[in-house]
Amino acid sequence: MARSSLAGCGVGFLVAPGGFTQALKDLARRDAHQEPYVILLARAELEELIAASDRMAVLARLHVAATMGDASK
């Protein structure tokens, strides 16, 4: 991922309602320990976020999953 283009930004979202390739998930997992943290939002995460009464809680959980290296969440 092109990290330098997001300089100064701590969190980024990559949205793909059709899902992500395993190669991209692996890349996100590999880079999960450094900023900017990239949160992958596939259809399930988007639907959960839209339906949630507490969207900040959902985003917080997704952020933790991304920073802990779990790119599938």
Q: Does the model's pTM come out above 0.85?
A: no
pLDDT of residue 32: 78
Secondary structure (3-state) at 69:
coil
* Residue 22 to residue 42: CA distance in whole angstroms: 13
pLDDT tens figures, 6-55? 556 778 889 999 999 999 988 888 887 777 788 899 999 999 999 999 99
* Residue 67 to residue 10: CA distance in whole angstroms: 11
**CA 54 to each of CA 1, 58, 60: distance values in angstroms, whole numbers, following the listed order:** 30, 7, 10
pLDDT of residue 33: 78
Domain boundaries, the chain: 11-67
The token pair at 65 is 């999953």
The angle subtended at Cα 18 by Cα 8 and Cα 20, nearest 5°, is: 55
